[in-house]
Chain A
Amino acid sequence: MSDDAKRRSAQLVVAVLLALLGFAAAAQIRLTHQDGSYAGQRREDLIELLDSLAAAAERTQKQIDELERTRSDLLSSSERREAAVEAANEQLAVLGILAGTLPAEGPGVTVTITDPSGAVTAASILNGVEELRDAGAEAIEINDRARVVASTAFVERDGVVLVDGHELRPPYVLDAIGSSHTLSEAVIFPGGLADEVSRLGGEVAVEEAAVVEVGSLHPVDPPEYAQPTDE
């Protein structure tokens, strides 16, 4: 074999090997660039990948559970708060009517005491108020000006009736909310307010109404000395 031919065959062999290399490299590069394919990965790598995915899923699931718990906690606490607010509002209404800070309306009676001789005293009116209270009156006002509450004072100065500082002139009109029949009975029973007033020369008229409005309010100052205590 001549030297030239030998060189040529050597070059050919090298060329074939290089072609093999280029072919393999190109195939491998194409394989690597097929994204999303785990086909070429070895088993341990895949297992590791699977493990890490499982761990991530577990962590995420834990997070989901925690967040759901928090959510239900928040929901129930907001429900509780709503219930508390509702209860507080209800109590506010009850106490407001009791304390005279809220206007009220409902079935009741209107008691009109005429007093042409000026003989009806504050004590008689207080009597009448107490009769109404005994009969279950929930809100009372006199002459659309004086709301009768727990601390209401009935006094007389120079023949004028003062209720919580309001000067009242006859005729005295008592609006009371409650069971209207019971209230009217309480006014006109023998020996009661009606009898007392007529003995003094006045007259009592009771009118039952489906809707009586008690619109006057009793101003309330916050207590200065008394502090609420826990039960």
Chain B
Amino acid sequence: MIAIIGLLIGVLAGLFLEPTVPLALQPYLPIAVVAALDAVFGGVRAHFDGIFDDKVFVISFFSNVLIAALIVYLGDQLGVGGQLSTGVVVVLGIRIFSNVAAIRRHVFHA
């Protein structure tokens, strides 16, 4: 419950504070958001599996975001940033889908 309230507060803050994203972070923010989403869905799945651990969640959240940003940064330095960020989004998308499928099985038993 507190978690959902936290999410709402974050969204509302993002909407109403109108933050300006620093120029240096702009290429990495979308990838970071997708990576964090992956971590969140992984956490929800773990919660339903009964193996949720907040330490694991925190570490996976940050490592996901950092690795995704790192890969994109590396890609930018190598001149293949666009392709690598596409690759990262595809991989994370597949993971999100499989996590959501597991959650769905728990929720709807289907």
Contacts and interface: CB of A to CB of B under 8 A. Distances in A.
A67 interface: no
A3 interface: no
A18 interface: yes
B33 A21 contact: yes
B78 to A, nearest CB: 11
B81 A42 contact: yes
Interface string A135-160: 00000000000000000000000000
A40 B27 contact: yes
Interface residues of B, number: 37
Contacts of A231: none
B11 A25 contact: yes
B105 to A, nearest CB: 22
A13 B21 contact: no
A162 B21 CA distance: 110
A21 B7 contact: yes
Interface string B55-88: 0011001000000000000001001011000000
Interface in A3-37: 8-28, 30-32
Interface in A47-79: none
A44 interface: yes
A40 B21 CA distance: 9
A26 B10 contact: yes
B1 to A, nearest CB: 8
A63 B26 CA distance: 38
A43 B24 CA distance: 12
B97 to A, nearest CB: 18
Interface in B1-45: 1-15, 18-19, 21, 23, 26-27, 29-30, 32-33, 36-37, 40, 43
Given A17-B58, A21-B36, A31 B21 contact: yes
Interface string A158-189: 00000000000000000000000000000000
Contacts of B37: 21, 25
Contacts of A41: 27
A45 interface: yes
Nearest to A19: B10
A28 B30 contact: yes
A19 B2 contact: no
Given A15-B5, A24-B33, 6 more contacts: A14-B43, A23-B11, A24-B36, A27-B19, A32-B30, A39-B23
Interface of B: 1-15, 18-19, 21, 23, 26-27, 29-30, 32-33, 36-37, 40, 43, 54, 57-58, 61, 76, 79, 81-82
3 closest A-B pairs by beta carbon, nearest first, are: A26-B14, A15-B6, A22-B10
9 contacts: A11-B3, A13-B57, A18-B10, A19-B9, A19-B10, A22-B11, A25-B10, A28-B21, A31-B29
Interface of A: 8-28, 30-32, 39-45
